[in-house]
A = this chain, B = another copy of it.
Amino acid sequence: MENTILELQFAIDTFYFLMMGALVMWMAAGFSMLEAGMVRSKNTAEILTKNIGLFAIACTTYMAYGYDIMYGGGVMLDGIEVIAKEATYAKPADFFFQVVFVATAMSIVSGAVAERMKLFTFFAFAVVFTGVIYPMEGAWTWNSESVFGMYTLGELGFADFAGSGIVHMAGAAAALAGVIVLGARQGKYNKDGSSNAIPGANMPLATLGTFILWLGWFGFNGGSVLAMASKDSANSVAMVFLNTNAAAAGGVIAALILVRLLWGKADLTMALNGALAGLVAITAGPDTPTALEATLIGAVGGVLVVFSISMLDRVFKIDDPVGAISVHGVVGLWGLLAVPLTNSGVSFTGQLAGAGTIFVWVFGTSMVLWLILKAVMGIRISAEEEYAGSDISECGLEAYPEFTK
Interface residues of chain A, those whose CB is within 8 Å of chain B, are 1-2, 4-12, 14-19, 21-23, 25-26, 28-29, 32-33, 36-37, 40-41, 44-45, 48-49, 51-53, 55-57, 59-60, 63-64, 75-80, 83, 89-93, 95-96, 99, 119-120, 123, 199-205, 207-208, 210-212, 214-215, 218, 222, 228-231, 233-239, 241-242, 245-246, 248-253, 256, 260, 263-269, 271-272, 275, 287-292, 295, 394-404
Contact = CB atoms under 8 A, between A and B. Distances in A.
A253 B233 CA distance: 38
A29 B212 contact: yes
B295 A228 contact: no
A18 B241 contact: yes
Nearest to A2: B1
A212 B288 CA distance: 32
A234 B204 contact: no
A80 B288 contact: yes
Nearest to A245: B59
A229 B399 contact: no
Chain B CB within 10 Å — which of A44, A76, A90 has the most? A90
A331 B385 CA distance: 35
Contact of A40 (B37, B211, B402): B402
Contacts of A256: 49, 53, 56, 123
13 contacts: A11-B229, A14-B238, A18-B238, A25-B218, A32-B204, A80-B236, A80-B287, A83-B238, A96-B245, A123-B256, A203-B399, A267-B396, A400-B403
